Structure 1
Amino acid sequence: MEDPTPPTFTAPQRRQFAKKLLAWFSTAARDLPWRRTRDLYSIWISEIMLQQTQVATVIGYHERFLAAFPNVAALAAAEETQVLRLWEGLGYYRRARQLHTAAKKIVAEHGGDFPRSYEAVRALPGIGRYTAGAILSIGLDQRLPILEANTIRVFSRLIALADDPRTTRSQARLWTFAEEILPAENCGAFNQALMELGSEICTPKAPSCAVCPVSAHCAVYAQGRTAEIPLAAKKTTYTDLTETAVVVRRGSKFLIRQCQPGERWAGLWDFPRFSSPPASHESWLPTASDHLLNWLDVQIEPIAHLATTKHGVTRFRITLHVLDATWIAGGKTSAQQRWVTRDELHELPLSVTGRKIAGLLAPAKPARKKVKS
């Protein structure tokens, strides 16, 4: 289907659009921690955390992260384990590792001060065009456009974009529109208002057009096509996987290993876990024994099935069988493999399912004292 030429906002229309949007935002804006400051570091942390994560989830993480690392220098000086532990539960851990790397670069190349030029911000690990524009427009009111999930939807409806907004061609059009519609001043508030509009009013399903402050400027609303635009993404095809995790007990300690580069959850700690075919409880136990002996040189005596959980990771639907086992021999301590207590588990960054497994662990029972006859 050919996409008609989108309507062009004249200068008076752009001014009117900005005026209406900013007036609405002045009373409708949610009170969020990163909106109470112009500190580039705080805004940077919030923007990275908000990638593919809901605002309600990020608030607590943002506050805890800044309490532990109040500035770039503190983040740069931290151990990666500390950073990952505070990121635990947010997912997409590559973001945390890139934050840490970027902080070190800022200390080394900018004296610990978050850079203020677009080119220098774009040069930091984990920062693309949108993130750089968001940080500098919100923090310094620089006239930079933004394009993310919410504004893609808003812009697609404003210009009645009939093509898939995820294509290279559509992205170029949307970026051009995002730049054209920016006001001469108050760009930070304007960009935040656009995102707020997409989040609270111009929602994916059943948008609240009747109360939208800029509905008079919306081509899709005028055409009655809000249910059609933007085009929905193709449904994800999921792959079913079965995995086994083994809790190996050695007195009051448990065997864990650090996930290596290239593995899921690289840098985090986890209980020994491996792919396994669907099977009955009876076959899980000897299979786990053989696998740990060949993989980690650990000899175990399987005890029982501890739990089975189901969860999703990107395009995978995973059934995880958790087994309980007793250590017999092997399992040397190394940089990537160690024995830890339940209390020590609390201090280490674990995967979400690893943390759930840790929650299943009962304290070791004290040895029974012999009663004198």
Structure 2
Amino acid sequence: MSPPRKRDTAPTAPLLPPERRERVRAGLLDGYDRQKRDLPWRRTRDPYAIWLSEVMLQQTQVATVIPYWERFLQRFPTVEALASAPLPDVLAAWRGLGYYSRARNLHLAAQEVVARFGGRLPSTAAELLTLPGFGRYTAGAVASIAFGESAPLVDGNVARVLSRLFEVEGAPGDRAREARLWALATALVPGERPGDFNQALMEHGATVCRPENPLCLLCSVREECLAYRHGRVDELPPAKVRAAPKRMTLAVAVWAHAGRLLLARRAEKGLFGGLWELPAVEVDDDTPAPESAARLSQALGTPVHVEAALGTVRRQLTHRALSLRLLRVTGTTHPTHAPAFQELRWCTPQDASSLGMSTAMHKAFEAALDAGALAP
């Protein structure tokens, strides 16, 4: 019988040598202290305001977010104010920012913060992860920036910085790549000023280590960057392959009565969930007007008749190529409730301006008015 094999007891090499880790941390913090942008949420220690900024900044440019963030805080200055507000009011304040599930989850999370935590946002990433809308990134951002926890985060900017610094291979979305990026972020964040360090990572990706034309000569950690050393900055990370947007056509009811147009509010989930719209149903590209009328009749719970086509509004969403086919309709009754919608209202253009409505549907509403929907 052969003797048992000895277990390999050699120490595992650290993910990051301590000296290199400290050089990367120091370089990024130094660059941040010298060149960080003066953003309004960086002037507050209010966890609620910081949380709001992180939610708004997902999928949205900083310049767009600033006025929305300021207006939203004026209207809902505390977690309690947000939690007690009707969801339609919250969606109306979000109007134009897109990705409305963010606003719905923000509202739900505020209600849970009041109910479970007495109106005080929990201070750890682990607790934050129990709230609606909090993933690893948002939990890490709020816990570190607002509360000083050494919680890691990885977003698109951070992934790009770490991919280049440490020559991390793999396409965006690859599980091994994502695991390594989170491991690197976890290894780097402990130390002084974890919140500032996380912001330094994000700021560096947004302003210096950019997707195209990165400013390597201005980089405060250039000497530590393996991609720069090996001439691979333009290769890492590889571009994400995006699926072609799905085509989607909606038949939109433009129904006028007594100087008002019929508006409907969708169910909370799904595309445009909880938002107001000219009542719409999904149809095929070649669906004829009589069949579109039948589907609208079913959704509204009352017979409608198509009088004329008023044109088509096309919008490009992230994952959908949307066509809104405007149909002037009429009927013998004027409904006030419908099986397919949460609410119906007959609104003047002024009434509609205060409702939460997607940008696409707002364009359709304007196009309907321009086509004479309310003309006598």
Question: Does TM-score exceed 0.5, indicating one fold?
Answer: yes
Q: Where does residue 103 of structure 2 map in the other structure?
A: 96
**8 Å contact kept, 1:156–1:165:** no
Q: Where does residue 270 of structure 1 map in the other structure?
A: 277
**Is 1:211 equivalent to 2:230 in the alignment?**
no
Q: Where does residue 37 of structure 2 map in the other structure?
A: 30
The structure-2 alpha-carbon separation of the partners of 1:225 and 1:350, relative to structure 1 and needing over 3 Å to count, comes to same
**Is 1:317 equivalent to 2:321 in the alignment?**
yes
Q: Give the RMSD, CA atoms, in angstroms.
A: 2.4
Between the aligned partners of 1:75 and 1:9, the Cα distance in structure 2 is 43
Between the aligned partners of 2:232 and 2:87, the Cα distance in structure 1 is 48
Between the aligned partners of 1:107 and 1:295, the Cα distance in structure 2 is 36
**Is 1:152 equivalent to 2:159 in the alignment?**
yes
Between the aligned partners of 2:242 and 2:270, the Cα distance in structure 1 is 26
The number of residue pairs the alignment matches comes to 360
**8 Å contact kept, 2:41–2:49:** yes
Between the aligned partners of 1:66 and 1:40, the Cα distance in structure 2 is 12
- What are the superposed Cα offsets for residues 254-277 of structure 1, whole Å, 9 maximum, x if unpaired? 112221244411111111112233
Q: Where does residue 306 of structure 1 map in the other structure?
A: 310
Which of 79, 96, 100 is residue 86 of structure 2 equivalent to? 79
AA partner of residue 236 (structure 2): I
Which of 239, 246, 253 is residue 239 of structure 1 equivalent to? 246
Of stretches 297-306 and 264-273 in structure 1, the one that deviates more from structure 2 is 297-306
Q: Where does residue 371 of structure 1 map in the other structure?
A: none
1:104 to partner: Cα distance: 1.1
- What are the superposed Cα offsets for residues 39-61 of structure 1, whole Å, 9 maximum, x if unpaired? 11001111111112221221111
1:36-115 to 2 correspondences below 5 Å: 36-115=43-122
Which of 188, 194, 197 is residue 201 of structure 2 equivalent to? 194
The unaligned stretches of length 5 or more in structure 2 are: 1-12
Between the aligned partners of 2:337 and 2:166, the Cα distance in structure 1 is 60
1:287 to partner: Cα distance: 4.1
1:299 to partner: Cα distance: 4.0
TM value normalised by structure 2:
0.88
Q: Where does residue 23 of structure 2 map in the other structure?
A: 16
Between the aligned partners of 1:11 and 1:241, the Cα distance in structure 2 is 53
**8 Å contact kept, 1:257–1:338:** yes
AA partner of residue 158 (structure 1): L
- What are the superposed Cα offsets for residues 23-48 of structure 1, whole Å, 9 maximum, x if unpaired? 22123111111111111100111111
1:154 to partner: Cα distance: 0.6
Of stretches 7-16 and 228-237 in structure 1, the one that deviates more from structure 2 is 7-16
Q: Where does residue 293 of structure 1 map in the other structure?
A: 297
Between the aligned partners of 2:374 and 2:112, the Cα distance in structure 1 is 48
- What are the superposed Cα offsets for residues 1-41 of structure 1, whole Å, 9 maximum, x if unpaired? xxxxx995432322222222222212311111111111110
Between the aligned partners of 1:116 and 1:177, the Cα distance in structure 2 is 23
The unaligned stretches of length 5 or more in structure 1 are: 1-5, 368-373
Task: State the SS of the aligned residue for 1:30.
Answer: coil
Of stretches 103-112 and 216-225 in structure 1, the one that deviates more from structure 2 is 103-112
Task: State the SS of the aligned residue for 2:44.
Answer: coil
The structure-2 alpha-carbon separation of the partners of 1:244 and 1:25, relative to structure 1 and needing over 3 Å to count, comes to same
Q: Where does residue 264 of structure 2 map in the other structure?
A: 257
**8 Å contact kept, 1:14–1:183:** no
The structure-2 alpha-carbon separation of the partners of 1:114 and 1:263, relative to structure 1 and needing over 3 Å to count, comes to closer
Task: State the SS of the aligned residue for 1:73.
Answer: helix
1:318 to partner: Cα distance: 1.8
AA partner of residue 103 (structure 1): A
Between the aligned partners of 1:341 and 1:182, the Cα distance in structure 2 is 53
TM value normalised by structure 1:
0.89
Task: State the SS of the aligned residue for 2:267.
Answer: coil
